[in-house]
Structure 1
């Protein structure tokens, strides 16, 4: 539930039983604080708010942001959504994917997953050190966790927290997830694209076995993890400020940078148009022969598409298929205009090939 604050003056509120010192404001927040908890579960808001803090907070002071999101898939800045995400499952479940501003791999967010973001001056930024802050937090809850060589937090060999990073000029951040009670079956379905023959110049996710903290430590929940991370952050960076509570109904969305960021994250140009170049090689058997195709795309636009057919395929059909795929050049990958569909409908064999190509590109 999003909490609305009507008063414009700062109001002392009780956050937890461990007496975290918190305050909230009915007006838009400023980037001058050191610890923020977002009560919004809108991933577009939280990612934009995080980026706003990163760009506007003084780079010489540490900052911590904690939040949760409604179900979504979040891909890295330089990743390929067609390679990383089961887009058909995404559409069927209504769970969107969002391209974030940092690098790294693809992760799944839901209310059983808590996200942390630690911002530091670039000069003192150390990925291993920031991972240790979160490790100390979960260990303080009685969790026997460790950090692997990728700075992921694991319980045994199973990953419970993945991380990504961003460095710009004199500032940097380390942000990550903590799987507490995430729906792992949904995670698995959405992150399984099956595009093994798609070769991309983008960053590929490193697949790892995962588990929820509550599978082994049933007493751990979102509130306890948040308190533990704040305590560890305060001790590590000698921060004594109160926690700034933020929601998406207190004027924050009216901050122009955040408003623009939320809008941009939802656009085709950002979600798909930032995709690095990739090549997808596929093959399919039809009653009249086998067809293989090679599709090249960059920034979500098809650069070229070629097809090869069985030797026994008649020349007229080969020519029709060559004309069809030539029309794909310059089209958005996964989209099609009516002219191409009409061309395919003139021959049922061409129609079959077209439906196969369209299904492959749209999944």
Structure 2
């Protein structure tokens, strides 16, 4: 179908999450028509929150930063993850019409299979070996380009992962999770001879095989041309957001993720709004904030505004569920 796909492999030599995420967004802006880029990168001692998450609620920010950790926020939706150099991140950045989740995932699955591990994609966005997760995936799209990225736990420090991340009570209740640790696994635990290096080599070769590409690898380190993007990702405002004190807070966990709705009212109107969520559809959450801002705080108007959102089929179902929930709260 797209016989003339051009491929590119880029590896970051920086372990700084603000640089690596800035470079990822730069690629998303610069990717050409019919181009598929594989970008491999690692962050050291980092917590990355989803686009619409509240870091204060997701992790012990103060302790973590006090211990020299970096907090970062990505563009995509989904939940919070811990990265260290025992974890490898991959991003497929592409012309939007080349997006094919199954094909992209097959690159990762093939690489892991080549190393002697049987793995499968499952559930919302996880790759599992047996019943245990070693990779979480998330997605983001712009008008003409999109990316699919994920983590791969090879030899990550599980103690740090459970020390700094908080799992919400709602999540525990809805999933019956005993602990974060019991569900995740390092590939090295399954097969002792796996390293970041041999995994990287296998991902690159399976990428070239599946996309029939050429094998030049570009290495990038701190780049001056992404200075503005770097400043955005490293800024307090982007990482933490300017959170006012809210009058109203409603929280609910749906099958597709949690919604934590925060409103300030002025003269019966929604004067400010922040929605925190680990839902995968990060743009949809932002659209919802924009629609509800300056709306009267009455269910009929809120309902109408939510119906205005231009969205996909699965998001229409999400809107229906959100409206039903809010009706029970606002009446």
TM superposition score category, shorter chain reference: 0.5 to 0.7
Shift of 1:89: 2.8
Shift of 1:190: 1.4
Shift of 1:166: 0.6
**Structure 1 stretches (4+) deviating beyond 4 angstroms?**
274-278, 295-298
Structure with bigger gyration radius: 1
SS of the residue aligned with 2:118? coil
SS of the residue aligned with 1:45? helix
1:218 maps to 2:186: no
Structure 2 CA distance, aligned partners of 1:49 and 1:177? 17
Counterpart in the other structure of 2:55: 81
After TM superposition, the structure 1 = structure 2 runs for residues 247-266 of structure 1, keeping only pairs within 5 Å, are 247-248=221-222, 252=223, 254-255=224-225, 258-266=226-234
Counterpart in the other structure of 2:174: none
Shift of 1:275: 6.8
Structure 2 CA distance, aligned partners of 1:233 and 1:137? 9
Shift of 1:53: 1.0
Structure showing the higher helix proportion among its residues: 2
Structure 2 CA distance, aligned partners of 1:275 and 1:154? 36
Q: What is the TM-score when the length of structure 1 is the normalising length?
A: 0.61
Structure 2 CA distance, aligned partners of 1:145 and 1:160? 9
1:273 maps to 2:241: yes
Q: What is the TM-score when the length of structure 2 is the normalising length?
A: 0.67
1:52 maps to 2:20: no
Counterpart in the other structure of 2:119: 145
Structure 1 CA distance, aligned partners of 2:43 and 2:263? 31
Structure 1 unaligned blocks of 5 or more: 1-31, 199-205, 282-294, 305-363
1:185 maps to 2:159: yes
Counterpart in the other structure of 2:326: none
After TM superposition, the structure 1 = structure 2 runs for residues 149-164 of structure 1, keeping only pairs within 5 Å, are 149-164=123-138
**Are the counterparts in 2 of residues 81 and 275 from structure 1 also a CA contact under 8 Å?**
no
Structure 1 CA distance, aligned partners of 2:126 and 2:29? 25
Shift of 1:177: 0.5
270 and 227 in structure 1: CA distance in 2 versus 1, 3 angstrom threshold: same
Counterpart in the other structure of 2:15: 41
Counterpart in the other structure of 1:347: none
Structure 2 CA distance, aligned partners of 1:34 and 1:212? 28
After TM superposition, the structure 1 = structure 2 runs for residues 281-292 of structure 1, keeping only pairs within 5 Å, are none
- RMSD across aligned positions (CA): 2.9
SS of the residue aligned with 1:64? strand
1:127 maps to 2:101: yes
Structure 1 CA distance, aligned partners of 2:73 and 2:243? 10
**Offset from partner CA, 1:224-281 (integer Å, 9 cap, x none):** 0101110111111111141111112xxx2x10xx111111112222112277988389
Structure 1 CA distance, aligned partners of 2:87 and 2:242? 27
Structure 1 CA distance, aligned partners of 2:170 and 2:187? 34
Structure 1 CA distance, aligned partners of 2:262 and 2:152? 36
Structure 2 unaligned blocks of 5 or more: 1-5, 172-178, 252-260, 265-270, 274-331
Shift of 1:210: 0.3
Aligned residues: 243
**Offset from partner CA, 1:277-316 (integer Å, 9 cap, x none):** 88389xxxxxxxxxxxxx9567xxx979xxxxxxxxxxxx
1:96 maps to 2:70: yes
Q: Pick the aligned partner of 2:43 from 42, 50, 69.
A: 69
SS of the residue aligned with 1:62? strand
